[in-house]
Structure 1
Amino acid sequence: MTGGFDRIEKHIEQMEAVKNYPSLKAENEGLKEQVEELRSELSKKEDRIEKLEEKEEKLERRESELKDVKEELEKTESELKDLKEIKAFRGLSLEEATEKFLESKEAEIDERSRQKFREVKEEYEEKLPQMIEKRLSEVLAKPRSEWSPKIEELVDSKAKEISNHILEERKNWPEWFKKYFQREVSSLVDEQIDEEFKARVEERSNELAEEKLEGLKTRAWPEWYSKNVEPKINTLRDKMRENALEVLKGPWKGLKCDNCGAEKEEFVLTDAGVGNLLRKGKVELECPNPDCVDHGLFGLGSFKHQFEVFIEDLIGLKTTA
């Protein structure tokens, strides 16, 4: 009985299979087509890979050939260089050739050394001003009591040099010193030349006037000048030397922009600013007018205008104020 049921179920399965055969066949055909397409695509990929591998091999061979050519060119270049040297030595004895070879090598070494020296020198010269300015600013920012003897001597000598330069020639005197000198001279002349001396001078004849004047110029004036005027000038010069740094610090006022004429408010130079003034002989100030600007190259960007004031102008401005 059980066997009969099994046969019936198997028969039913066979009938179901026969019933679904067309759809299963169609699905199977579709899968076969997909498999064929995939096989075709895979074949194309394999061909592509094979071609790329061949191309890679060719490139590797080409790279190897180029490397060989490069080595050959370098070898040829070296041989040509050797041939040139041999040609230069042709007809020379062994000692002469050796000497010439050493001379050429020495010349090459000398040229390379000079080139290296020029590079180092240019680099050093380019950095030296910034290094000096930075170091000087750092030193001058400290109290004078902390300055080294060499720095103090350098600053004092520079201050003396500036004051001597101003006082040595009358055209360099500040206006205030000219007035002071004139007052001192007039005062001393009034004290020294009394009425009796004036009377004698007035009584001289015109014929002796030139001789008298020459005598005064060659004898009386130098003696009177060295006795009365020169000590005062020396005293003033010494005071200027002693107070040069304090004088240069300021305060400064009445300085006007060379571009717009705006007047800068009163200010005092820092020790670093005094150092720049001593080293360069001038100081750069920023214009107080916010609308006074300078433009960069080709009109790119703008920045506050700065104007220069020289040390002689500062000293004159300080003393007349």
Structure 2
Amino acid sequence: MREDLINIYKDAPAIFETIRGEISKVVVGQKPVVEQILVGLLAGGHVLLESNPGLGKTLLVKTIAGTTGLKFSRVQCTPDLMPADITGTTLIEEVDGGKAFRFEEGPIFANIVLADEINRASPRTQSAMLEAMQEKQVTVGKNTYRLEEPFFVLATQNPIEMEGTFPLPEAQLDRFLLKVFIDYPSSEEEHEIMERYTGHAEPRVERVITRRELLSLQQLTREVPISDDLKRWAIKVVISTRSWEGVEYGASPRASIGLILASKARALLRGRDYVDKEDLVAMAHPILRHRVILTFDSERRGVSCDQIISDILKSI
């Protein structure tokens, strides 16, 4: 391991603890959700957040962005949003008595992009994000523009209010490393939310890490060792989704890659320098739940993807 990575590894536990402390100033509870988003950041993957309205999805993303000090932009997705509204457009302007083309960057040119209610954008606009999410570049006309590293898309969607929405196609869902569910807070947490946001001024977060430190942590994540036995176990889980009863289509090899990377990131967040089976089990649901397509009969019987994944994990 390089010397600079060794130094950042020594500082990593303190950095993560400080990040969690800053986030807790604004976001009450939701520790598993916060951890899974941080896993996505460390693994360099995009995250899809799903919950009922009013549970703080947007606030959570903005808070995490504030702790990193990275360039942040927000796209409020609506049916009339055009691809150029996200990627940018080429303008004609006068220069020294003549005309010249100038590219005006869209909100996709940021380090952390919040795509709010992404399923309200039209399929044409959703597809405009595919190249950016996979290739980390944007092509407009004949020109291709690289996006600055690190680059994350944190998208939100509501499972209700489906009128006027466009479900994400499987190709785009597969670009998200994790799909994270946000549940209702407990009664104690909701009381704390009420106290915090009906009294004094709303809390603010401080920047904890720099862009360079985050890039180093991402590289360090890939250095976390994992045994061959656990690799084979992870592959067996993913392969099982392709032939499991009640599943129409299973997860692709991208899921195997994602499961290993996410487990490495979780181990690093937990202060370990190796991957444990516990990491793989914990990350299996957010990695696989949006990549498993159920049969019509399974959906009719009310079977969920999480149930299928739990059954697979118990069987292996």
Q: Which of structures 1 and 2 has the bigger CA Rg?
A: 1
Structure with greater helix percent: 1
Structure with greater strand percent: 2
Q: Larger relative contact order (C-alpha < 8 A, sep ≥ 6)? A: 2
Same-fold status (TM-score > 0.5): no
- Relative to the length of structure 2, the TM-score reads 0.20
